[in-house]
Structure 1
Amino acid sequence: MPYFYALRRILQPGCPFGCRPAPWLLGLLLAWACLGSPARAARPYWDVSYDSLAVTLPRQPTDEARLQTLQHLLDLRPTGAQALPLLDRLLALNQQLGAFEAQPYRSLRAGVALWQQGKADAAALDSMHRAIAGFDRVGRPIPWILIDLAGLYNRLNRMEDRRRYYETRLAYYRVRGAVQNEAACYMSQGGYYRRMGDYNRTLNSILRAADLLKGYDQRLYVRELLVAGDVYAQWGNYARAAQYLNMAQRLPDFRRIDGMAREYTFLTLSRGYARNGELATAQHLADSVLAARVPDPLDQQLSRAYGMVQKSLLYLQQQQPAAAAALLARAQRLDDSLHVPMTGKLGEFELDAAWARYYAARHDDAQAEKHWLLAYQKAAAAQIERLQPEYLKELVNFYTRRGQPAQAQRYANAYIRFNDDFTAAQSVFHVAQYEGERVEQAQNAQIGALRQQQAVQAVRLRLGQWLLLGAGLAVVLVSGLVVFIYRQLRTNRRTLAQLRDTQAQLVQAEKMAFLGELTSGIAHELQNPLTFMKSFAEVSTELVDDIDGQAAPHQNGSQLRGEILAGLKQNLQQISQHGQRASSIIKDMLEHSRSGTGQRVPTDLNALAEENLLLAYQALRTQSPDFSAQLIRDLDPHLGPVAVVASDLGRVLLNLCANALHAVRERQRELALVPVSEVLAAPHYEPTVTVRTRRLSGRTVEIRVCDNGTGMPDHVREKIFQPFFTTKPVGEGTGLGLSLCHDIIAKGHGGTLAVDTCEGKGTEFIITLSPA
Structure 2
Amino acid sequence: MSYSHALRRILQPARLLGPRPASWLLGLLLACACLAGPAQAARSYWDVSYDSLATTLAQQPTDVARLQTLQHLLDLRPTGPQALPLLDRLLALNQQLRTVDAQPYRSLRAGVALWQQGSADAAALDSLHAAIAGFDRVGRPIPWVLIDLAALYNRLNRLEDRRRYYEARLANYRVRGQVQNMTACYVSQGGYYRRMGDYNRTLNNILRAADLAKGYDRRLYVRELLVAGDVYAQWGNRARAEQYLSMAQREPDFQRIDGMSREYTFLSLSRAHARKGQLPTALVLADSVLAARVPDPFEQQMSRAYGLVQKSLLYLQQQQPTAAAPLLARAQRLDDSLHVPMTGKLGEFELDATWARYYTARHDDARAEQHWLRAYHKAAAAHIERLQPEYLKALVDFYTRRQQPAQAQYYANAYIRYAIAFNAAQSVFHVAQYEGERVEQAQNAQISALRQQQAVQAVRLRLSKWLLLGAGLAVALVSGLGAFIYRQLRTNRNTLSQLRDTQAQLVQAEKMAFLGELTSGIAHELQNPLTFMKSFAEVSTELVDDMDGNATPQPKDSQLRSEILAGLKQNLQQISQHGQRASSIIKDMLEHSRTGTSPRVPTDLNALAEENLLLAYQALRSQSPDFDAQLVRDFDPHLGPVAVVASDLGRVLLNLCANALHAVRERQRELELVVVSTSGAPAEPHYVPTVTVRTRRRAGRTVEIRVCDNGPGMPDHIREKIFQPFFTTKPVGEGTGLGLSLCHDIVAKGHGGTLVVDTCEGQGTEFIITLTSA
Show the counterpart of 2:310. 310
**2:20 is paired with a residue of what secondary structure?**
helix
2:77 is the counterpart of 1:77:
yes
**1:7-156 matches, cutoff 5 A:** 7-12=3-8, 16-22=12-18, 24-25=20-21, 29-34=25-30, 45-156=45-156
Show the counterpart of 2:375. 375
2:97 & 2:202 partners in 1: Cα distance? 44
**1:403 is paired with a residue of what secondary structure?**
coil
Q: CA deviation at 1:16?
A: 3.6
Checking the alignment, whether the CA contact within 8 Å between 2:290 and 2:304 is kept in structure 1 is yes
1:393 & 1:26 partners in 2: Cα distance? 58
**1:277 is paired with a residue of what secondary structure?**
coil
Show the counterpart of 2:350. 350
Checking the alignment, whether the CA contact within 8 Å between 1:17 and 1:257 is kept in structure 2 is no
Q: Give unpaired runs (5+ residues) of structure 2.
A: 428-432, 441-774
For residues 32 and 360 of structure 1, do their structure 2 counterparts lie closer, same or farther at Cα, with a shift above 3 Å needed?
farther
1:99 & 1:82 partners in 2: Cα distance? 23
1:19 & 1:34 partners in 2: Cα distance? 20
For residues 372 and 137 of structure 1, do their structure 2 counterparts lie closer, same or farther at Cα, with a shift above 3 Å needed?
same
For residues 58 and 389 of structure 1, do their structure 2 counterparts lie closer, same or farther at Cα, with a shift above 3 Å needed?
same
What residue identity is the alignment partner of 1:280?
A: P
Corresponding pairs, count: 428
Show the counterpart of 2:224. 224
2:307 & 2:241 partners in 1: Cα distance? 22
Q: CA deviation at 1:15?
A: 7.9
1:29 & 1:397 partners in 2: Cα distance? 63
Checking the alignment, whether the CA contact within 8 Å between 1:259 and 1:294 is kept in structure 2 is yes
1:288 & 1:384 partners in 2: Cα distance? 27
Checking the alignment, whether the CA contact within 8 Å between 1:24 and 1:55 is kept in structure 2 is no
Q: CA deviation at 1:77?
A: 0.9
Show the counterpart of 1:176. 176
For residues 37 and 282 of structure 1, do their structure 2 counterparts lie closer, same or farther at Cα, with a shift above 3 Å needed?
closer
Show the counterpart of 1:199. 199
2:166 is the counterpart of 1:166:
yes
2:421 & 2:231 partners in 1: Cα distance? 22
**1:665-704 matches, cutoff 5 A:** none
1:26 & 1:247 partners in 2: Cα distance? 33
Checking the alignment, whether the CA contact within 8 Å between 2:22 and 2:56 is kept in structure 1 is no
Q: CA deviation at 1:401?
A: 1.2
Deviations 1:496-522 (A, max 9, x none): xxxxxxxxxxxxxxxxxxxxxxxxxxx
Show the counterpart of 2:334. 334
For residues 72 and 410 of structure 1, do their structure 2 counterparts lie closer, same or farther at Cα, with a shift above 3 Å needed?
same
Checking the alignment, whether the CA contact within 8 Å between 1:35 and 1:65 is kept in structure 2 is no
2:18 & 2:325 partners in 1: Cα distance? 40
2:211 is the counterpart of 1:211:
yes
For residues 421 and 103 of structure 1, do their structure 2 counterparts lie closer, same or farther at Cα, with a shift above 3 Å needed?
same
1:143 & 1:13 partners in 2: Cα distance? 28
Q: CA deviation at 1:319?
A: 2.2
**1:81 is paired with a residue of what secondary structure?**
coil
Show the counterpart of 2:292. 292
**2:47 is paired with a residue of what secondary structure?**
coil
**1:119 is paired with a residue of what secondary structure?**
coil
Q: Give unpaired runs (5+ residues) of structure 1.
A: 428-432, 441-772
**1:358 is paired with a residue of what secondary structure?**
helix
Show the counterpart of 1:254. 254
**2:45 is paired with a residue of what secondary structure?**
coil
Larger radius of gyration: 1
1:99 & 1:38 partners in 2: Cα distance? 20
Show the counterpart of 2:321. 321
What residue identity is the alignment partner of 1:348?
A: E
Q: CA deviation at 1:37?
A: 9.4
What residue identity is the alignment partner of 2:148?
A: D
1:267 & 1:99 partners in 2: Cα distance? 44
2:145 & 2:95 partners in 1: Cα distance? 23
2:349 & 2:98 partners in 1: Cα distance? 44
For residues 97 and 367 of structure 1, do their structure 2 counterparts lie closer, same or farther at Cα, with a shift above 3 Å needed?
same
Show the counterpart of 2:245. 245
Deviations 1:289-319 (A, max 9, x none): 1111111222111111111111111111122
For residues 112 and 294 of structure 1, do their structure 2 counterparts lie closer, same or farther at Cα, with a shift above 3 Å needed?
same
Show the counterpart of 2:744. none
Q: CA deviation at 1:8?
A: 2.3
Show the counterpart of 2:270. 270
**1:12 is paired with a residue of what secondary structure?**
helix
Q: CA deviation at 1:421?
A: 3.7
Show the counterpart of 1:453. none
Q: CA deviation at 1:17?
A: 4.7
Checking the alignment, whether the CA contact within 8 Å between 2:78 and 2:144 is kept in structure 1 is yes
What residue identity is the alignment partner of 1:417?
A: R
Q: CA deviation at 1:34?
A: 3.0
Checking the alignment, whether the CA contact within 8 Å between 1:248 and 1:254 is kept in structure 2 is yes
TM-score by length of 1: 0.53
TM-score by length of 2: 0.53
2:143 & 2:45 partners in 1: Cα distance? 12
**1:402-417 matches, cutoff 5 A:** 402-417=402-417
Q: CA deviation at 1:23?
A: 5.5
Q: CA deviation at 1:405?
A: 1.3
What residue identity is the alignment partner of 2:297?
A: P
Checking the alignment, whether the CA contact within 8 Å between 1:308 and 1:330 is kept in structure 2 is yes
**1:284-683 matches, cutoff 5 A:** 284-422=284-422
